[in-house]
C-alpha cells in the first residue's frame, strides 16, 4: 500500500534549496522554505502558510540558521509561538522540530548550538512535537570523513541533504 501523507516543510534556504518531492515521491511534499528567513519571519507568515496548506499530516520545521548567522540567539520565544500556532491550526498533525546543525560560525561559543538544541528539544516536548536530531547525524558523518557543508559552513552539500533526508525518512516511516 502506497503512503500518501502530505508533509509541509517550513524554514529557510536549507529547506528551500532541496527537492524534497524528488526524494520522497510517495508523499506530497510542500516545500515552503524561504532563503534568508529568520524565526520571526516564519512566525509572521505562518498563518498564511497554514491556511494555504490544506490537509497536512506532518509539519517539519527547520529554522534558526539565519538567526545564528546574525548573532541572534534570542529566538526561542518566537519558535515556541510557531509550535503553538501549528498545534492549534493542525491539532492532528505530527510536528517535527529539526535540530540546528553544527554550523561553522566562528563567533559561536563551542556549546551554543548544543544548548539551543536542548532548548528546542524541550520546546518540542512542551508542544507535543517530535524532535529530529539531525545534528547528531551530521556529527556522525563528519566522524566518517564526509563533508555535509559547502565552504560557507551553512549551506549543505548533496551528502548533507542525504544525511538529513535519511533522518527524515526514518521519522516519516514511523
- Segment 92-111 mean pLDDT: 94
**CATH number of the domain located at residue range(s) 6-173 in this protein:** 3.40.50.1110
pLDDT digits 0-9 by tens, 60-71: 999 999 999 999
pLDDT digits 0-9 by tens, 117-135: 999 999 999 999 999 999 9
- Segment 92-120 mean pLDDT: 95
Count each helix (H run) and each strand (E run) in the chain, helices first: 8, 5
**Cell numbers representing residue 67 in the block:** 538567526
List the chain domain ranges.
Answer: 6-173
pTM of this structure: 0.95
6-11, strands of its sheet edge to edge: 28-33, 6-11, 58-62, 94-98, 130-132
Distance between CA atoms of residues 62 and 133, nearest Å: 11
67 in helix, strand or coil?
A: helix
Distance between CA atoms of residues 67 and 73, nearest Å: 7
Amino acid at each position: 500500500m502506497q503512503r500518501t501523507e502530505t508533509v509541509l516543510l517550513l524554514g529557510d534556504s536549507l529547506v528551500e534549496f532541496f527537492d524534497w518531492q524528488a526524494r520522497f515521491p510517495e508523499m506530497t511534499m510542500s516545500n515552503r522554505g524561504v532563503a534568508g528567513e529568520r524565526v520571526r519571519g516564519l512566525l509572521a507568515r505562518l498563518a498564511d502558510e497554514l491556511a494555504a496548506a490544506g490537509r497536512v499530516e506532518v509539519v517539519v520545521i527547520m529554522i534558526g540558521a539565519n538567526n545564528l548567522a546574525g548573532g541572534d540567539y534570542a529566538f526561542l520565544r518566537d519558535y515556541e509561538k510557531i509550535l503553538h500556532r501549528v498545534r492549534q491550526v493542525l491539532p492532528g498533525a505530527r510536528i517535527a522540530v529539526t535540530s540546528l546543525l553544527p554550523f561553522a560560525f566562528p563567533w559561536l561559543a563551542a556549546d551554543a548550538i548544543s544548548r539551543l538544541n536542548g532548548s528546542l528539544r524541550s520546546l518540542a516536548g512542551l508542544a507535543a512535537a517530535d524532535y529530529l536530531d539531525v545534528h547528531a547525524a551530521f556529527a556522525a558523518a563528519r566522524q566518517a570523513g564526509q563533508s555535509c557543508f559547502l565552504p560557507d559552513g551553512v549551506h549543505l552539500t548533496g551528502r548533507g541533504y542525504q544525511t538529513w533526508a535519511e533522518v527524515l525518512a526514518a521519522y516519516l516511516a514511523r
